[in-house]
Structure 1
Amino acid sequence: MDAQTNSDAATNPELAVEHGVRRDPYATEPTAAAGQTSAGAAAGARAAGGACAAGGAHPDFVLGGTLTVRRLGFGTGGLVGPGYWGPRHADPARSLALLRRAVDRGVTLIDTADNYGPDVAEELVARALHPYPAGLVIATKGGVVRTGPDVWHVAGRPEHLHAMCDASLRRLRTDTIDLYQLHRLAPDVPMAEQLGTLVELQQAGKIRHIGLDSIDAAELARARELAPIASVQNRYNVLDRASEDVLELCERTGTAFLPWFPLGHGTLTGAPGTRTATPSPTPPSAADALTTIAVAHGATTGQIALAWLLHHSPALLPTPGTGSPDHLDENLAADRIALTEAELGLLDALGTPTG
């Protein structure tokens, strides 16, 4: 992910709302002069296997005011085993091929974390993609130490964050991380101290932009007073809207919102994942609505769930993960689905503020 050096509303005007769908006045259509391609050209480049051709049916997003990305990215959580422990595939060649396939098909935003594995996902990203092609944005996270499957603790002391960032730089084989996200706010360390450390890393040239994970709207507002916040990652999908107020603040300030579990940990696809505890099943009424719309578009329910995110807000940048090349292709095709306003209204009605 990328970030923003200035997320003030004066620089990124508030989003307009038209026909119940948020419109983005500050996300510009890509131009060749800006080193980008049009949506149609990008789709053609993806079909031809061209690397890092940003675009799709939706306008790209300028992260941090400097880095332009296709709004549908790729998350690397699917490359590690259950409980985010160890590699998913015994043969790393499968994961390396998947990462290269994602970039070949136009992905320009790769989201990873140091505790995926731990270390496994970052190392795979570097092995597969380094030297990184122009236009590819790498986002990672620090601030959480994983000691076993689904076992982790927060580490937000300055010395921990400095050491974690340096280790990520080595694993990713880069001098600067495009977007470095604090995976969790440490409750035993003042927010100012944690964000101050990230600002130090930014000023040292080790990270370009700063992001936060799993925060509420009040925390985001406070954080913006302490550091230039480029992005947020919170759980959010067509059924789970608990972070709606965070999304609204992101829209007003031009901050990227990367929804984690955009497919409800697989429940919105009908194939729940196995990396964490079993999630709640999709309610029958929601499953029926998703299926009806999917049939109308010749799509899958997972594609409809991703398409809804892309329509719902221009600040949303889903980064679904998978260990399957077929599922990767399926996910990336979601940004070519044009939902009708009636369909959007039906999907909007599925979610509740409490998920």
Structure 2
Amino acid sequence: MNLYDYIHFILDTPLVETEGINIGTSVEGHTIQGFRFGKGIKNISLIAGNHADEPIGPLLLKKLVSYFSTLPENHVLLEKYSWWIVPHTNPDGEKQNLKWYNYTDTKTDLTQYLLHVQRELPGRDLEFGYPIEGKIPVLRPENTAVYNFWKTANATFSLHASLHGMKSSYGAWFLIDEAWIDRTKKLRQDCKNKTTELGYDLYDLDRKGEKGFTRIDEGFCTRPDGGKMREHFLNLGDTKTAAQFHASSMESIRSLGGDCLTLVSEMPLFIFPKKDRELVWPDTYLNEWSDQFIQWKNELLSGKLSATALETEMKEKEVYAMPWEDQLKLQWQFIVSGLEAI
């Protein structure tokens, strides 16, 4: 069996409350759980929830933990790799956002999403709150918990994936460590193939290095960077916002040594039509869709638009919710391709 095919077992595994390791406590006093599986020589870090309005990554890791808990110690996934998994780094944000979804959903309800979604701003953003010892301080206790969990490995990591998502785009987007561009050609091809096989386009844009995003290939970009984030806002004269960005989880885990391949998945909750266009930044087409979602939200809040009318408008504009199962499959393909790359 190839590694990707384990997704069928993962998807079929019921979510169960699995006892993990109490690795720390959130700002509001909720326990942050980490999980250790396997005894292989390659250490793998998987985290999700750094942006708490992105539920698909946490769902995959919760299912993965449930699945791993059923496996014998000599299973190939546990023999070859050592897994360090934090299904949700932000239990406070998870609790706030569970108003618009639950983990048994099959797709996202746009009305509920727009009315209840909450996202933390720079200065509270967990993805850019990690430390680099002696250089960059930690932002929140949740970041400390994850960082200290990594350090208990007493070894370097081979692969780290921080699972993220997007509100909307016209396809899947994959972000890769700049240091690994030349070593991930097969990874890119396999992720492209799976995206196409599932019937989706690749999200493509070129931000010319802004905030660390440099286009590698159609649908592939370098992952964001805390230093580049700070540089961007300093160039705008916004020193206050620049100071809110610490290190990303990707930079932080690489600072522990070794040559860790770091990945960031970006799957959209909602898909709008693809349009042929030049790769320019800022992209007016993407801005138009951003404005459309803001308009829908304002009309829902004012009572001008009903949930039923919104569904009609979505159909007219060819906007639809990406099935959660397909998002899970693409995230797992990305992880699997990373395992094969290392």
Same fold, TM-score > 0.5, yes or no: no
